[in-house]
Amino acid sequence: MRPKTKQAFNPYMPSWEYVPDAEPHVVDGRVYVYGSHDLFNGLNFCLGDYVCWSAPVDDLGNWTYHGCIYKREQDPAAPKIRMTNGLAAPDMVVGPDGKYYLYYFMGGTKMISVARSDEPAGKYEFYGYVKYQDGTPIGKRNEPFQFDPGCLKDDDGRLYLYTGFAFGGNPILLDGSAPTKEGPMWFELDTSDMLTVISGDELNYLDVLTGDKAKGTPYEEQPFGEASSMRKFDGKYYFIYSSLNSHNLCYAVSDKPTSGFQYGGVLVSCGDIGLPGVPDPKHARMDTGNTHGSLIQLNGQYYIFYHRHSNRKQSSRQGCADEIQFVDGKFLQAEMTSCGLNGGPLAGKGVYPAYIACNVYGRNGTRFLSMVKYPRGMCPFLTQKGGDRDEGPSDQYVSNFCTDCTVGFKYFDLRETREIIVNLQGYGDGCAVTVRTKEHDGEVICRIPVETCKTQKGFTGKLPEGLGEKEALYFSVEGKGGTFDFVSFELK
């Protein structure tokens, strides 16, 4: 295995890129990510055209941008109004012809569309709509809402498509369709054309339950909501979905691709809700909203791909990925980290941008975000300078880094680290930045006096000896009236 060229962070794409709803797939030694495409400060979800990124499986910090792979206007059914009819979460599967098929949903169509390419990140061309044998596209027979297609090509060559949406309170997205009350739907497709349903005209549902069906079952706490994705590991089928709680990615497991699923548990929460010390949304470690993603095995380790939220609203989402433990056939809930795909803690020397924070919360906690920005208040938040997709030096940062807030980073090897420099801009005469290795109630290991600075300035503090090879760093502001932009920090 060749040496890594870069450390991997979360989010794993550049700070100016907003690709949520990730479906990762390995092709010829590279992991390709297919997802939606938000705009920074976008008024709604999924307003961008599809783009693609990939990285070598043995160098997961070294991502390549392949550009736009598909434009919404290529779909003949694309509505003229983009604002409420974006390209939603896609998935990719390789056909028996060796071509790459992108299954996707576009708002305002009610159908599942397919585009095709000769290369995994090539220019995709519109191919058709998933359809019944009489030619009617699925979604056009008053079925429950088709949404977020997930694909699985099984070892025997059979192809399955999974869709569904159970949130009943979204009249704009539903566009007159009904949400599913049974659970996600599945269709077997004819691999000769990759479009035609061969599982019959009657709808088939997975036994991954939602709504009233989930009451009194193991799904009651985490009923199916959306974000269907199917993966197969060691002969078992893992159905990944976002629950009606929205902030949780969950899974169910079966020996078959279409039945027999048993609830497995939570894979990740985009606020770390459910981990020790985070019992409920009131204690979330990051602003929450929806999440969507999937599992993948890379280099003998399992990872969960998901997304986080920024800019005080739901529609500026960024892709993240974290290691997840697989013990005795069960996935254990992963924690959000800054080191994500790195394969271990980050080095204890170097400059780190503040936007790789994995915990960001204020004295009053966090918020479940809406499509409208919340007031700044006493909560820090992730944002950026400039406009959408201002490529170049990463300029995302933590704004409103204020008194009694917490901005946390996990994890670093601090055995040889002796000095820390915080780079700030803002107001706070008489204030200090405190550093802990445990959360807000942990022992302060460094206190760094800071002052008002209208331009970015570094403030230095000493770290004690005896720190470990896997340490978190939590930064807070101490003192009345401190409010800064937290740009970066340096470890020496």
State the catalytic residues. 21, 226
Strands 91-94 and 406-412: unpaired
E strand or H helix that includes residue 173: helix 171-174
Tell me how far apart the terminal alpha carbons of the chain are, to the nearest angstrom: 29
Chain centroid to CA 284: 16
Assigned token pair, 467: 């720190």
CA distance 60 to 377: 37
| Cα separation, 346 vs 461, whole angstroms | 20
Give the residue among 404, 410, 421 at the shortest CA–CA distance from 491.
421
Selection from 140, 370, 131 nearest residue 246 by Cα: 370
CA distances from residue 330 to 54, 223, 276, 326, 403 in whole angstroms, order as listed: 28, 19, 18, 6, 41
Report the alpha-carbon angle 184-188-193, nearest 5. 130
- For 61, half-sphere exposure in the C-beta direction (CA atoms, 13 angstrom radius) is 15
Q: Which of 3, 64, 40 is nearest to 383 (CA)?
A: 40
Say which residue the tokens 């460094």 belong to: 446
**Selection from 288, 251, 286, 266 nearest residue 334 by Cα:** 266
* Residue among 44, 102, 48, 52 at smallest CA distance from 71: 48
Q: Find the helix or strand (DSSP H, E) in which 239 lies.
A: strand 236-243
User: Are the beta carbons of 354 and 407 closer than 8 angstroms?
Assistant: yes
Nearest alpha-carbon partner for 223 in 191, 253, 257, 263: 263
Do 291 and 246 contact (CB within 8 A), yes or no? yes
